[in-house]
């Protein structure tokens, strides 16, 4: 793989409009994107979602299948438009503490995503909701204790898998006890390692042991591990802790490098290189094409300068391609077929049940 393609495969990009821009599709065709992450702005209708996934999947080189990613957690973090069924927030469903129920929720979500052509859900949230004034996690979590989050988070992941969708647990090493939203600032977790091992890390260790395909890094500083350095950019967290101590062998994705916890501390070029060195196998740059190009250029320069960095890029791309090939993005052949699945009695029944339980 030439260095331009190699470094391009590290980037999961987004775009600003309802349809993939020509420049974004061109980048996919040239192998300069390893995936696309879609948001509500990109999905005004179900048909638009199906068309975007189909267009992007077909544009990708055969040897470099895409990740087509979306944050579909339920509750306030839901991207699919009606008539797709949005599930309630997981904390509301978790009040019933029923693994079978949560697994059905995951399968319902996965079935809808699969029909449209997605192959990676950026879920489940494995953060433990221990701080009531947390501005970013809250009811996205499955519970307020590690055991509940572990049990129900993994149930949701199993449901996704049963529908043919890979999962991505987030946000490692934990975002549940922060008072700052990493979209707007840099959170700091003050706890020592004993506390982290007894609480925040428990669901992630269980997910690793269960074989979860992907995890997402958190833009949070854990002073006990690497003072002053956010997890996304810390090799002590992404390499030593996650891969060394927890034994993770899947793909690690960064959270969005456009978030202010990173972008206001580092430029996109420095952050891209640091994230890969820290253990991220793919970096998310979720809207700005110019920043995606800057990140790509920085990765290429470093790969040409350093054989060690190029080897790290090769390792990362090999790891992500293994996941992408195992979970290919295949939309239904026609939108009518996709819509029929999304509006099927099976999906409707489960979604209605979830809505009743959540009150």
Please name every residue paired with 37 in a beta bridge, in sequence order, or none if there are none. Answer: 69
Q: Based on C-alpha coordinates, what's the Rg of the chain?
A: 19
Among candidate residues 273, 167, 245, the one with its CA nearest the CA of residue 212: 167
- C-alpha 209/C-alpha 230 separation (Å) is 25
Catalytically annotated residue among 127, 177, 255, 281: 255
Residue 344 is given by DSSP the state S
Which residues, 6+ apart, have CB-to-CB distance to 355 below 8 Å?
88
End-to-end CA distance of the chain: 53
**How many of the other CB atoms lie within 10 Å of CB of 340?**
12
Q: Can 171 be counted among the known catalytic residues? A: no
Residues in the chain: 359
Q: Can 183 be counted among the known catalytic residues? A: yes
Phi (first) and psi of residue 163, to 5 degrees: -95, 0
Catalytically annotated residue among 98, 181, 183, 289: 183
Among candidate residues 91, 171, 177, 92, the one with its CA nearest the CA of residue 134: 177
- C-alpha 129/C-alpha 174 separation (Å) is 10
The answer to whether 90 touches 77, Cβ cutoff 8 Å, is: no
Q: Is the peptide bond prior to 171 cis by the omega test (within 30 degrees of 0)? A: yes
The answer to whether 99 touches 143, Cβ cutoff 8 Å, is: no
The residues assigned a catalytic role are 183, 255
């Amino acid at each position: 793989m030439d260095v331009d393609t190699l470094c391009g495969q590290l980037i999961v990009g987004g775009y600003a409009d309802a349809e993939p821009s020509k420049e974004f599709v061109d980048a996919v065709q040239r192998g300069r994107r390893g995936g696309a992450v879609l948001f509500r702005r990109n999905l005004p209708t179900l048909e638009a979602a199906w068309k975007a996934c189909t267009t992007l999947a077909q544009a990708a080189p055969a040897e470099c299948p895409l990740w087509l990613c979306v944050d579909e957690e339920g509750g306030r973090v839901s991207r699919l438009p009606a008539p797709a069924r949005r599930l309630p927030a997981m904390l509301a469903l978790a009040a019933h503490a029923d693994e079978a129920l949560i697994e059905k929720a995951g399968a319902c979500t996965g079935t809808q995503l699969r029909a449209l052509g997605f192959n990676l859900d950026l879920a489940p949230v494995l953060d433990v909701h221990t701080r009531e004034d947390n501005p970013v996690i809250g009811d996205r979590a499955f519970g307020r204790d590690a055991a509940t989050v572990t049990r129900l988070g993994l149930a949701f992941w199993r449901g996704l898998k049963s529908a043919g969708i890979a999962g991505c647990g987030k946000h490692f090493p934990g975002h549940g006890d922060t008072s700052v939203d990493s979209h707007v600032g840099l959170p700091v977790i003050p706890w020592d390692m004993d506390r982290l091992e007894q609480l925040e890390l428990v669901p992630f260790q269980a997910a690793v042991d269960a074989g979860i395909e992907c995890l997402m890094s958190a833009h949070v500083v854990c002073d006990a591990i690497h003072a002053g350095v956010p997890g996304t950019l810390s090799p002590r967290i992404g390499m030593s802790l996650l891969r060394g101590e927890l034994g993770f062998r899947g793909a690690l994705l960064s959270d969005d490098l456009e978030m202010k916890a990173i972008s206001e501390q580092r430029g996109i070029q420095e952050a891209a290189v640091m994230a890969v060195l820290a253990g991220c196998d793919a970096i998310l740059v979720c809207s700005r094409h110019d920043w995606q190009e800057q990140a790509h250029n920085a990765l290429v320069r470093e790969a040409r300068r350093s054989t060690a960095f190029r080897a790290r890029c090769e390792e990362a791309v090999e790891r992500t391609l293994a996941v992408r090939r195992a979970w290919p993005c295949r939309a239904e052949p026609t939108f009518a077929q996709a819509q029929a699945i999304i509006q099927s009695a099976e999906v409707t029944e489960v979604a209605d049940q979830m809505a009743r339980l959540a009150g």
